[in-house]
Amino acid sequence: MSIFSDFQQVALRQPDAPALVTLDDAVSYGTVLGLADEVAAGLLQAGLRTGERVAVHLSNRYELVSVYYACLRVGAVIVPVSHKLSAGEVDQLIEDSAPRFYLGEAEVHEPCAHVIEKRETVERAWILDSAGTTTTEPWSGLLADAPSPSDDIGPDELAAIFYTSGTTGRPKSLVLSQTTLEAGLDLTEAQGVGHADATYYMINLMNPWGILVLLTSLRRGRPLALTATNTPDVILRMLRTHRFGWIGGAPTTFRALLAEARAAAEPAPGLAGTRCVAGGDACPIELSRDFAETFGASLTGVYGMTETAAPVIEQPRIDAVDVPSIGWPLPGVEVRVDAEEGEETGELLLRTPSRPVGSWNGTGVDRFDRAEWLASGDIVRRREDGCLLFVGRKKDLIMVEGYPISPLEIEQAIAAHPDVAAALVFGVPDTATGERAVALVEPEPGRQVEPTALLEHLSGRIGAYKHPGEINVVEKLPVLPSGKLGRQRLAADYTSSREHTAASSDTSAHAG
């Protein structure tokens, strides 16, 4: 059985059941399957061969779901291209993945049209909501009524190439096979996706976790919520409209949802029967407790990265712990703490069946040794019961006079202040101490935060050497497109701006 076959069986068994639900409409399993068959047949008629790449540049809409299934059916390698990327970023992905075909929609394609046109590897481009141009074709030109393609795609055939931020500034690629994607679905199902009622992934369906949630929910016969945008007001309306068994998003998603619910005139919808899962970044304990107080549901935390393709560790209840914890490994996942002799704290190493098979080198796959341990870059400590306590990102640790300090520890202490909604801490160079902590603080709506009062609040909670050397109050914390809070990018921007200011001052002084 393949991933597509699993979905096909469900769709044939319940063709009229809702596969996708919106605020005021639904799309049936039969409709999603029918379009998937037409797209699959069209790709084959266009000459697609197994293993060739197809760039998928669509927003959250039902055609996106059908395209995913069509590609999985015929052995096309999905290259998800987020509609939030700039033209330059899209150009990098298209250059690296060299797709033969491009599937887009007018609104997201138009700003990037020149990028697609200049890439000779892209033979044909079909665009939704467009009549076509001299270099593109209308969506209807893709769809075909040819006989259904055979389901003979092998388990080792490539399924998708995902791109994530790289340390060199260019995105790095990770390749999943049909088998590793299937393993990701099993891990996603272990998180509770598709066990009851509808599913709602509150971010766009272009990243690995989103695609896994989508495929898992539909193979379990459960409808998936689909919204064109995932702003807090839309999410809250969806939660009032439908009954969900599972919802998921980044901690920033849940923070924004909490603020929206608290500001609303009517009470927040009760989510006691809903599994609410935060992933993609460390989730503050205070956020989980506030969420439980407002919605009647605890937040579950999941840990993973693009390099694992799926969440691999779970903390069932974030609000039930006193220190940051990522929890216990999911079934089939192995963990090890790489600590120095005599130390309890070290880098988290992982082995998971969902690990990508390799990276894309422009023409093929540079294979990983999947038996090797994967270095996570995260520092943890393991309790006697096996629970993994999160210390911080290896690269995020702030070295003050030689002492490593976790930004998360400072953030948790700041967030415990009643006037603080959230905090973000990062390290910057300091001539006296090596590094010092800088804190960005977002107040609760209608509240004011004084840096001196915050420092008093921190006294007795964390050591004085951990106190931020600088506290800046901001209206909103900056968030990356992924929903994560980017400490390293902020630190680099901060240092660069200070160096620029210093250089300008030196120039002015010299000119004077």
pLDDT tens sequence across 99-110:
999 999 999 999
Count the alpha carbons within 13 Å of 198 in the hemisphere toward its beta carbon: 23
pLDDT digits (tens, 9 = 90+) for 184-239: 999 999 999 999 999 999 998 999 999 999 999 999 999 999 999 999 999 999 99
Residue 509: pLDDT above 60? no
Residue 69 has pLDDT above 90, yes or no: yes
Alpha carbons within 13 angstroms on the beta-carbon side of residue 467 total 15
User: What is the separation of C-alpha 380 from the centre of its chain, rounded to a whole number of angstroms?
Assistant: 21
CB burial class (10 A; 0-12, 13-18, 19+) of residue 369? exposed
Q: Which domains does the chain have, with CATH numbers?
A: 3-16+28-153 (3.40.50.980), 198-356+369-393 (3.40.50.12780), 398-511 (3.30.300.30)
**Taking residues 249-267, what's their average pLDDT?**
93
pLDDT band of 404, cuts 50, 70, 90: confident
| Band of residue 168 on the pLDDT scale cut at 50, 70, 90 | very low
pTM of full prediction above 0.85:
no
Bin 439: left if φ > 0, else alpha if -120 < ψ < 50, else beta.
Answer: beta
* Cβ atoms of residues 101 and 125 within 8 Å: yes
CA-to-CA distance for 481 and 64, rounded, in angstroms?
A: 19
Tokens of 140: 């209807």
Whether 222 contacts 199, CB under 8 Å = yes
Higher-pLDDT residue of 19 and 485 is: 19
Burial tier of 267 (Cβ tally within 10 Å: 0-12, 13-18, 19+): exposed
Query: Model confidence at 343, in pLDDT bands (50, 70, 90)?
Result: confident
Q: DSSP string of 32-93? A: HHHHHHHHHHHHHHTT--TT-EEEEE--SSHHHHHHHHHHHHHTPEEEE--TTS-HHHHHHH
CA distances from 316 to 192, 252, 337 (A): 11, 19, 21
What stretch of H or E contains 255?
A: helix 251-263
CA neighbor of 300 nearest in space, from 252, 247, 253 = 247
415: Cβ contacts below 8 Å, ≥ 6 apart: 284, 286, 287, 421, 422, 423
Check residue 392 and give its pLDDT: 79
Residue type, 478: P
* Structure tokens, 141: 């030109």
Question: Looking up tokens 């998708």, which residue turns up?
Answer: 160
Phi, psi of 360 (to 5 degrees): -85, 130
Stretch 149-178: mean pLDDT: 82
Handedness of CA 467, 468, 473, 479 (dihedral sign): negative
Instruction: Provide the pLDDT for residue 234.
Output: 97
| Chain segment 427-479, per-residue pLDDT in tens | 888 877 778 899 999 999 999 999 999 999 998 788 888 999 999 999 988 77
CA distance 487 to 281: 11
Reading the block at residue 502, the tokens are 């210093």
